[in-house]
Structure 1
Amino acid sequence: MQVSAILTVNQLIQREQYLLNQSYQNLRASINRLMDSGAASSEQLTRLESELDAELSWATANRVELALVDYYDDVKLVTEWQRRLAEVDNLPTQIAGFYKEQRQEADLAVIRSLMSRLVFDLQWVIESKRVVRFNENRMRRNIVATFLCAFLLFFSPSISRVLFSLEFENLRFYYTFTAATAGILGAGFSQLTSIQSRMQAATVDQVRAISQLGYILARAVVGAGAGLIMFYLVQSGLLSGAFFPEFIHTPEELLQYKESINLLSENSYAVSQAVESTYAIGTLAQPAQGLSLLIVWCLLAGFSEKMIPGILTSKAKQATDSTDS
């Protein structure tokens, strides 16, 4: 997987280099044709060509391409103008509409001015796509790294149990740790599945912002908070039902479940870990199933940015209505 990723990156770099070389060759050919036609000062064109002798870069290629518009003769200007108009659909809708309205323009001075602006706008669109592509790759790397770290954290209790025979004695900490890391996993998965849609809807500045590691970590923190809030909502009984985990709240319930686990032990039923046979007030009533349900709900809370705010708003409204009545 790592080898294929490296090959893909190298292929992209080679493709980018090839396109840049082609652009330089086209620019040199255009300059040579202008020199041969004598339509512009040879000295000025030579100075322009010398810029292409420096280090290869899209910035230089774009600058030379834009400067060449001022040296086009009338025939070349009209030809390039008509050709460039075929590319206006790549521009934002309103700007593309503006250029389409100028198709019938006949004044060469106006066409030259429009041509300069059109070349600049097309260059801006291409550069914007390049920036978006770069930041999308960076964003994907940052999200994957965050997701993998959360994955390791989530399974660290199981890893420590298998490798070092360590068990969580403080079940309250175990539950909150599991809820928080499940929320982070949900947030990371949400970001991974929505990269493309967010990139398409964002501006260049927004793309730069959301690809930063700080932004991604902030979303992970929100996921952890959502997981913890979901845990406390379920443990408090504010969210209950067949699809929610049950907690032991009274001494009577504790005694009942302790008797059940004793019967299981006498009949040699196995438990996979110590937390599944530990009962106290505030612990899960059915640890194996309850823990799975808790993890699922905390994952969903971290995945959805609207779930927890919606639940809190609903509960606050219910509390307000009951107080008023």
Structure 2
Amino acid sequence: MDLNETKMMLVISRRLIIFAILSLVLTTILFALSFVFQQRLMLSWLVFECGIIGGFVSIQQRLKYIDIEEMQLLSQSWFSILMIPVYGGIFALVLYILFLAGLVQGHLFPAFYVPEFDTPPTTQNVVAFLTTTYPAQGADIAKLIFWSFVAGFSERFVPQIINDVTKRDTK
């Protein structure tokens, strides 16, 4: 690796660290406010943040293996660096929805307490769903955090699950 590549890698790494720290600070503030005001913890924020962190770790690990053109793009553009972690957060939220919908289930995945809906469903049912749906046990919270990180870390993980679910449902 030549001096120019090393400089670009350092610029990218610094930017990744800055964004990761800002993201963690923002999430810490949101969690602190929920505890201080004794409000329910917004799991969607936690899921999104874990996906973002997974994306940051993924980029950092791949830096040694990317070609010079991509490294130049990443070192010159803040937006390019943010794209992968933000996609990781979005993929983590999609995976969360797949868990809640029961489309991804099993011992390795989190189980959730989901309130019953009336027939026909009411607005209160939707409000209850949005405010009282939580992982069933402590281990399920840990599983949710883990899989959210994986969704951000592995770019192909959630798209592959979506592909598998759509194939399964069309058979």
- For the criterion TM > 0.5, the same-fold answer is yes
Residue 87 of structure 2 aligns to which amino acid in structure 1?
V
Q: What is the aligned counterpart of 1:305 among 137, 146, 155? A: 155
Change (3 A) 1:285 1:187: closer
1:55-134 → structure 2 map (5 Å cutoff): 129-134=2-7
Say whether the 8 Å CA contact 2:53–2:152 is kept in structure 1: yes
SS at match of 1:299: helix
Structure 2 residue 98 is matched with structure 1 residue 223: no
Question: Deviations along 1:175-230, whole A, 9 cap, x unmatched?
Answer: 211111111011011112222122xxx03x32210222111111121011111011
SS at match of 1:245: coil
Aligned residue in 2 for 1:147: 20
Residue 292 of structure 1 aligns to which amino acid in structure 2?
A
Structure 2 residue 37 is matched with structure 1 residue 178: no
Aligned residue in 1 for 2:121: none
In structure 1, stretches of 5+ residues that fail to align are: 1-127, 253-279
In structure 2, stretches of 5+ residues that fail to align are: 118-127
Residue 289 of structure 1 aligns to which amino acid in structure 2?
A
Residue 103 of structure 2 aligns to which amino acid in structure 1?
L
Residue 155 of structure 1 aligns to which amino acid in structure 2?
T
Say whether the 8 Å CA contact 1:233–1:239 is kept in structure 2: yes
How many residue pairs align between the two structures? Answer: 158
TM superposition shift of 1:289: 2.5
Q: In structure 1, how many angstroms separate the alpha carbons of the residues matched to 2:73 and 2:165?
A: 34
Q: In structure 2, how many angstroms separate the alpha carbons of the residues matched to 1:134 and 1:294?
A: 37
**Root mean square deviation, CA, Å:** 2.2
Q: In structure 1, how many angstroms separate the alpha carbons of the residues matched to 2:135 and 2:48?
A: 20
TM superposition shift of 1:133: 1.8
Structure 2 residue 66 is matched with structure 1 residue 193: no
Q: In structure 2, how many angstroms separate the alpha carbons of the residues matched to 1:145 and 1:137?
A: 12
Q: In structure 2, how many angstroms separate the alpha carbons of the residues matched to 1:228 and 1:134?
A: 34
Question: Deviations along 1:249-287, whole A, 9 cap, x unmatched?
Answer: 3439xxxxxxxxxxxxxxxxxxxxxxxxxxx54512525
Q: In structure 1, how many angstroms separate the alpha carbons of the residues matched to 2:140 and 2:72?
A: 41
TM superposition shift of 1:151: 2.0
Change (3 A) 1:231 1:314: same
Say whether the 8 Å CA contact 1:301–1:307 is kept in structure 2: yes
TM-score normalised by length of structure 2: 0.81
Question: Identity, % of aligned pairs?
Answer: 22
Aligned residue in 2 for 1:289: 139
Q: In structure 2, how many angstroms separate the alpha carbons of the residues matched to 1:192 and 1:292?
A: 24
Q: In structure 2, how many angstroms separate the alpha carbons of the residues matched to 1:191 and 1:285?
A: 29
- Segment drifting more, 284-293 vs 214-223: 284-293
Say whether the 8 Å CA contact 2:113–2:136 is kept in structure 1: no
Greater Rg by CA: 1
Say whether the 8 Å CA contact 2:13–2:60 is kept in structure 1: yes
Aligned residue in 1 for 2:120: none
Change (3 A) 1:153 1:289: farther
Q: In structure 1, how many angstroms separate the alpha carbons of the residues matched to 2:83 and 2:149?
A: 17
